[in-house]
Structure formats: C-alpha cells, structure tokens
Amino acid sequence: MAFSIHTIPCPVELNERERMIFRAVAQAAAEMGVPAYAVGGFVRDKLLNRATTEIDFVCVGDGVALANASARKLPGEVASVQVFKNFGTAHFVWNGYQVEFVGARRESYRSDSRKPRVEPATLEEDLLRRDFTINALAISLQTENFNELLDAFNGLEDLRKKRIRTPTDPVITFRDDPLRMMRAIRFATQLHFSIVPEVAHAIRQEAERIRIVSQERITDELNKILMADKPSIGFDLLFKTGLLQIIFPQMAALAGVEMIDGKGHKDNFYHTLQVIDNVAAKSSNLWLRWAALLHDIGKPATKRFDPQQGWTFHGHEVVGARMVPKIFAQLKLPTHQPMEYVKKLVLLHLRPISLTKENITDSAIRRLLFEAGDDLEDLMLLCEADITSRNAQKVKRYLQNFALVRKRLQEVEEKDRIRNWQPPITGEMIMERFKLPPCKLVGDIKNAIREAILDGKIKNDFQEAWDYMIQVARELHVPNVD
C-alpha cells in the first residue's frame, strides 16, 4: 500500500517532565544513529488535551537498546528497565511516567491466532500496522525535524472530525487482530467519537472472530467501556455490531419488547444502559457499575404474562443474584469480594423501593440496615439510578419517597445501631452455656436471637439476648438449660 507521510509543526504542548523525556530519548537515538518517534496514544491524547502519563516510543532499530540508553540520560532515579523479549519491547518508569520502547516492525497473522509473526520494518510499515488512524500519529525526535507531527493517514483530520477509521482495509485489520473491534468501540465510548460506516460494517462482518481472543483481554475492554463517563455508548455499539451476543449473551438477552393483547414491557436492555449511565454520573466505583449492569439480568428467565397484570418479572432479583457468580466466572472477573458485593446489590435492589410504601415497620428497616451493612449508600444510589421513567412527575415522586426512606433508615440506625451489627450472643457462648458441640442446634438458637432483635421483640442488648436464649433453649428442649 503506497502512502506519503505529511509533516506539520506539532501543536502539542509538552510539560517539563515530558520535554526532559523527549530530550533524553532524542539524544540517545542520535548517538545510536537510529530514527526515533513518540507514537500512538500519547500523541493522540496530547492532541485532544487529555491527561496521560504513558509514552510509547518507536525507533527504526533496537528498541531495547534505546530504552537502556535513554534511561541512563534521565536525571534522578529511574526504575530498572524491564525487557519483554517475546514482544521485543522495553519499559521503565520515571517521575510518574510509564515509558515504553519498541523497534519499528511489521506483523503477519495466522487465521487461528492474534499473536503475530514480527519482522523489523520501516516507520511507514510500522504506522500501517497500527489499529486506527488516530493512533498512527507520530512526533519526530530527529534533529532536522524535532517535535514535528507525522501524519500518514489523515489521523489529525479524524481527530478533528471525531471519527474512528483504520489505516488499511478494516476487514483485514480485524481479521488480523479481532480485539481491535472492541478497541474501536472502547475508543468511540471514551472519546465520544463515531465509528465510520465501513469500519462498523467490518465489525459486524468479522464479529465471530472475537472468539479467538482470550477472555481476560475481552473483559479488560469491557471494564474500560464500563468506566467511561457514558458507558451506554459502548454497550449499544457492542449490541448493534453483534459482538455482545457472542461475548455476553446474558446481557444481550435483555433486549427487545414483547407484546400480547396490546400490552408490552419496557426494553430491559436500554433501561439497563440508562441505569448504568445514571450510576456513572455519580460514582466511579467499577463494581457498583457492574451491579447496575447486572441488576435486571434475571428478567429474561422470570418474564411471565398475566392477563390481568400484564408482564411480570417476579423474583428476578433472586434469580439475578444467583446468576452473578456464574457470570463473574465466565468473564473471569474477581470471584471473591467484588463478586459478593455485586451479588448483594442485585439481590437487594428492590428492597428500598418496597420501603417507600406506607406503614413500613421498623423491623423491615432494621433488616435492610443489617443486610446492606456498609454497602447501604451504594444500594440507595443504585435504586435511585433505577428510576428511568420518562414521566418527570413520577420520577420526582419516587425520589421524594426515597428521601423519606433515607430519613427512616437514619432514624432507626441512630436508635438501634443495627448496621454491620453482630448479635451479642456468639455461637461459642451458646456451646459453652449448654455444653454443646458445634451442631445445627447452636445455629438455630443464634438465628432465633438475631431474628428477635431484628423484629423488635427484644432490644439489641446482651442481657435481654441472654434471657431470650434461655427461653428458646427450653422451647427446643436443649439439655443443660437449668
């Protein structure tokens, strides 16, 4: 493919640390006699005035040698240069900047792998292999054109027009490395760019190729989309290109509206996208955003039509909570604390809504405080985000009701101190008092005490709990009561 590189004065303004890094690399490259360039995401983000602390350099020569030579020229302490022989790259950290080096290369791929065969190449060939035109911009470090912008594929114009294009045929681009399909959608989401029609068409055409990509890399892109300021852009694109149906079929199953006897239900996929955006506007907690994404995941399995009520999704919160561990394992997300947090919020996401009804007892409030614990505020934020009605008066009424629930929660918590509470009588105390080994009876007594306190039958007080324990033990005919 023939093309020419346009060179223009670089409109990028470097800070002092970036200038020092550029000077060190330029001097090292000049002494080695190799052309060197800053490329990729750093150039793109600086042109967009986005904060970045990652700089990639490419040289027409030995990238590892250039990394070592550049590190020696920087003042102060430089983290030791890490070399990744399999990839021909080297990396070090200096003054908060992640600095990476690679030799210019061209790549060829087998149909069953996204791991390329790599050969040394010219700068032009290196830029041609890159995923998108906005990532194929370079800044020269040569003496004769230092700090000039090199633009081989009109990437600067694509930045200005806010569009995602590939340097070469997008079908070939995505066949070579199918992860680029998700990267296109991730960049469109993060930057609020559009994907040009031929690239979007190529993603739809090559969607099945995503199956050769490791789950870890796919999930990394999903997390980056989810952490954007408006995640719905990315998930909508994933759905419309057919990628979501392959990588996350449970979420794709939320889409669509069914009608019977003129009665329909809302599209739970687009409702979910709105809930995610609502949460994203108020929280940068990745796992709260996952809870928003999964809060209605049990609806397809629980959808029923009742001639009187219309469409119902009874118990979808319970079914959804049960699905969470399997989804986390499938997507190779952490299966310890974050998963338990998401599972809890999915299970409880309808509870605060039920507390907006009149004559709710303190017992119901206590139970929510106890079950939500430290995650109560996140749960309330999720529930408020779940209000997506187009009826402004309905939304206002719901939010007012939630304000009353918050007030009740605060009042009961101040009175009973039940949040993150543990019953005053432990299993060890029960075993010692009645000379019991660990057994079901010990758990039954402990649960009875807990339920009595939550129901308000007895106070959250050691002596009242002890007396109630004796009473329960008598009723259960526990030995050694008297």
User: What pLDDT does residue 402 have?
Assistant: 79
Is residue 29 within 8 Å of residue 50, measured between CB atoms?
no
User: What pLDDT does residue 1 have?
Assistant: 47
Query: Mean pLDDT by 10-residue block, N- to C-terminus, for the chain (482 residues)?
Result: 65 90 96 95 94 95 94 88 86 95 78 66 88 95 90 94 96 94 98 98 97 96 98 98 98 87 81 96 97 97 85 90 97 92 96 74 81 88 86 76 80 68 82 88 87 82 89 87 78
Q: How far is CA 248 from CA 17, 193, 239, in A?
A: 42, 23, 10
Q: Torsion-angle region of residue 244: left (phi > 0), alpha (psi -120 to 50) or beta?
A: alpha
- The half-sphere exposure of 306 on its side-chain side, counting CA atoms within 13 A, is 8
Is residue 130 within 8 Å of residue 170, measured between CB atoms?
no
Q: Phi, psi at residue 103, to the nearest 5°?
A: -80, 145
Per the structure, the count of domains in the chain is 3
- The half-sphere exposure of 268 on its side-chain side, counting CA atoms within 13 A, is 24
Q: Phi, psi at residue 162, to the nearest 5°?
A: 55, 60
User: What pLDDT does residue 333 have?
Assistant: 96
Structural domain including 444 reads: 427-475
Q: How far is CA 99 from CA 95, 143, 224, 257, in A?
A: 10, 21, 21, 49
Same domain flag for 114 and 15: yes
Is 255 contained in some domain?
Answer: no
Q: How far is CA 120 from CA 48, 58, 63, 169, 465, in A?
A: 31, 12, 11, 22, 76
Residues pairing with 118 in the sheet: 107
Same domain flag for 33 and 175: no
Task: Look at residue 306 and give its three-state secondary structure.
Answer: strand
Same domain flag for 197 and 230: yes
User: What pLDDT does residue 2 have?
Assistant: 44
Is 100 contained in some domain?
Answer: yes
CATH code for the domain of 143: 3.30.460.10
**31 CA to centre of own chain:** 44
**133 CA to centre of own chain:** 26
Structure tokens that stand for 440 in this block: 């079901």
Same domain flag for 136 and 22: yes
Q: Which amino acid is at 96?
A: G
Please name the residue that has the structure tokens 């649960």.
447
Residues pairing with 22 in the sheet: none
Is 210 contained in some domain?
Answer: yes
Q: CA-to-CA distance for 253 and 300, rounded, in angstroms?
A: 7
Last residue of a domain, one of 193, 217, 247: 247
Last residue of a domain, one of 127, 161, 195: 161
User: What pLDDT does residue 9 have?
Assistant: 76
User: What pLDDT does residue 324 have?
Assistant: 97
Which residues does 370 contact at the CB level (< 8 Å), separation at least 6? 418, 419, 421, 454
Same domain flag for 134 and 153: yes
Is 179 contained in some domain?
Answer: yes
